[in-house]
Chains A and B, each alone.
With several copies, the nearest count.
Chain A
Amino acid sequence: MAGVKQSLSVDLEGIRFASPVVAASGCAGTGRELAGLADLRRLGGLVTRTLTFKPSRGWPGPRVAETASGIVTGIGLQNAGVRTFVAEDLPRLARTGIPLVASVGGASLQAYIRAASILRGERGIAGLEVYLSGPDEENEGLPFYSRIDRMAEVVGAVSRLSTVPVFAKLPALLPDLVPAARGCIRAGAHGLTLIDAVPGMVVDVRRLRPRLGAVVGGLSGPAIRPIALAAVYRVAQALPQVPVMGVGGICTAEDAVEFLLAGAWAVQVGTALMVNPSAPTEIAQGIAQYLHAKGLASPDDLRQQMRLTGERHARGASAS
C-alpha cells in the first residue's frame, strides 16, 4: 500500500475542499461558537445556516425533541438576514480560509433572487446551496420541492446570477429523486446536496400535545442514514457526472465511507456536530486510514469501488 501518494482533497466543480468532510447547513453556527472546541480550519468546508433576504425569528419553542437515534428539530431558519450575515459573520468565517458555501432560502422566487444577489461576488464565498424545503408562497405554502418546475425556476434563477458553483439541496421525500435531480441540473445547478432533514413529529403523551412549537419538524441523525444513502446511490447511479454531497446521519468515518462508496463526492456532517464538535476532523482522519488500508489515493477513487466488485465473491472471503 505504501507508494500510493494520498490526498484527501476533492474538487466539486471548482470548489476545492481540503477534505471531503463539510459542516452541514444550520449545524455549525456563525464560526464563533466552535472556536475553542474544534479548529474550523480543519473542516473541509462549511455550509452556512440558510440565509433569507428578510430576517427570520424562526419557530416558537420547543425546537428540538429527541427520538430513536435521531432528533426532530423545528428551527424555522432563524437568521438575521443575508445582509447582516455579510456584514457580521462572513468576515470572521472568511478568515478561516476554508471554502464557504452560503445556503440561500426564501418564500418566493423574488426572495431567493434578492438573497442571492446580495451574496453575488462576495469574496470568501466559494459556492451556494439552494434550500428547497421551505414553503412556496406562490404554491399554497407547499415546499418548493413538491414541484420540479418550481425547483427548476428557483435553482435556475440563483444559478444565472451566481458567480460561484450552485448546489441544489434535495429532500428524500420524493417518489423518484432522479427527475428532480435532473431538473435542477438542467436548470443550471452545478451539483446536488442530498438529503435535507425528513419531516417528522413527536407527540408528548403526558401533555397531549406535539413536542415542537413547529408541530412537524425535520428528523436528522443516524436514524435517517439509510434513507440518505439510498438517495445518494440512486442519484449517483443515474447522474454519475454530477457532484453530489451526501448528508444524513454521518457520525463516523465508516458512515462517511458508505456515502463515498455509494457515489457521493463529499459528505456533510450536521447532527453529529451537536454531539461531538470534532466529528468532522475525526471522520477525515478515519477516511484517510481507510484509503490507506485499501491502497487508494483519493476519496474520488471510492466512487468507483462498488461498481468494480461486479465479479462473484465467495461469501465470507474478505474483499481487502
Chain B
Amino acid sequence: MRRLRAEILNSRKFGAFQSITLVAPEIADRARPGQFVSVAMPEDRRFILRRHFSIHQASRRGGWAGTLEFVFDPHGPGAEWLAEVKAHHFLDVIGPLGRAFAYPRAPSNCLLVSEGHGASSIFFLAQELRARGKRVDMVLGASEESHLFKPIEAKRLSQTIIVVTADGSVGARGSVMDVVPRAAQGAGTEVIYAAGPRPMLRMVAEFCMEQRIPAQVAVEEEMACGTGLCFACVVPVIRKDGSGYDNLRACTEGPVFNPARVFWDRWTSEETRAIPTPPEGFPSVVSSWPG
C-alpha cells in the first residue's frame, strides 16, 4: 500500500462511464484484480472523504508500464469533480488496497459475472485468468446500454459472453441471474467470480451454494478511511467453524469475500428501527449512542 501524487495520463468518457489512467508505478506493480485505490477530494469542498475505485487495469510491462486505470460512473459530487479533472493534473492516490481475487490452482473453467461498474475489476481478473490458462466465460449486465461495460472488449476476453440489460436496450432483457445458470451449465463452470450490486451478489451466492460451485465476490460498502483504521466498512462474515460471525473490514479483509461465508441475511437487511438493536456485546437498553 503506497500513497502518491499521481499524474493523470488521460481521462476519457465511454458510455455513462469515465475512465482515468494514472502514472503510478508503485501501485501498478503491486496491483491485482479485486483491489482498489482511494482518491483524495480537493480541500476546499464540502465533501471530505476519499473516494474508492476498483482497479481496472495495471500495466507492469510494455508501453503502458507503470500505469493504472480505474473507471467510474460520475453520479455524485465526488465522482463528478473527478470526471472534470484534466490530463496532466495530479491526484492524491492510495493503493493498492484490499485483498485481491484468488486464482484457482488447477486449470479450470471460470464464469465471471458482473453488473454495471462491477465489470471494472472483472475485466482485469479475466486477463489474469487467461494469462494463467484458465477458460473465461462472462455474463455482463447493466441497467441499460450506456451502463454496459465495454461489450466488445468483453468478447475478446472470454470464450462466451451473455449480455443482459434491465430494459432490454441491448442483449437479453432481465437480470444477470436469469442467465447465470444457463451460462454456467453451457461452459462447464467450475469457479464463479462476481462483482456488482448487493442483491445481485446475493443471488449469485445462493446459486453457487446450491450448485456447490466455489465462488468469490467483490463487495462495495461505505468507507471512511479505506485503509483499515475506522471499521466503518464492515461485512458480517460467518466464522470458519460456524460459531457465529465477525464484522470484517471490506477495505482490509475484503473487498473480495467467499460468498458462502457472508452473512447475507444480516448484510442485506435494511430494517429501519426507530431504536436500533444495540451493538453486540452491549446491553439492550440503548436510548442514544453516538460514535
Seen from chain A, the residues whose Cβ lies within 8 Å of a Cβ on chain B are 26-29, 32-34, 36-37, 49, 52, 54-66, 68-71, 73-78, 107-108, 133-135, 137, 140-143, 171, 176, 196-200, 207, 209-210, 213-219, 221-222, 234, 237, 271, 273-278, 306-307, 309-317
Contact = CB atoms under 8 A, between A and B. Distances in A.
A23 to B, nearest CB: 9
Interface of B: 1-3, 40-41, 46-50, 94, 197-200, 202, 221-236, 245-247, 252, 266-283, 285-291
A77 B281 CA distance: 10
A209 to B, nearest CB: 4
Contact of B276 (A54, A176, A213, A316): A213
Contacts of A237: 274-275
Contacts, number: 225
A315 B274 contact: no
B228 A32 contact: yes
A200 B291 CA distance: 9
A133 B289 contact: yes
Of all A-B residue pairs in the complex, the 10 with the closest CB atoms, nearest first, are A76-B279, A56-B281, A141-B285, A218-B291, A218-B290, A33-B228, A315-B198, A274-B225, A64-B232, A57-B280
Contacts of A37: 1, 3, 94, 227
Given A52-B281, A215-B276, A218-B291, A311 B227 contact: no
A207 B247 CA distance: 24
Given A71-B48, A73-B224, A274 B229 contact: yes
A310 B273 CA distance: 7
Interface SS of chain B: loop
B218 to A, nearest CB: 15
Given A57-B279, A62-B222, A274-B50, A234 B234 contact: no
Contacts of B285: 135, 137, 140-141
23 contacts: A26-B230, A29-B228, A33-B229, A57-B247, A60-B277, A62-B221, A62-B222, A63-B231, A64-B222, A66-B49, A71-B49, A78-B247, A134-B289, A141-B283, A141-B285, A196-B290, A218-B290, A218-B291, A274-B50, A306-B272, A310-B271, A313-B270, A314-B198
Contacts of B280: 56-58
Contact of B269 (A214, A219, A312): A312
Contacts of B287: 135, 140-142, 176
Interface on chain A toward B: helix, strand, loop, or mixed SS?
loop
B43 to A, nearest CB: 8
Contact of A275 (B40, B199, B268, B291): B40
A210 B1 CA distance: 33
Given A56-B281, A65-B222, A315 B270 contact: yes
Given A65-B222, A76-B289, A312-B269, 20 more contacts: A26-B231, A28-B229, A29-B228, A56-B280, A57-B246, A60-B236, A61-B234, A63-B234, A75-B291, A78-B234, A78-B279, A137-B285, A198-B290, A237-B275, A273-B225, A274-B224, A277-B3, A307-B272, A311-B271, A314-B199
B197 A315 contact: yes
Nearest to B282: A107
Contact of B224 (A71, A76, A133, A215): A71
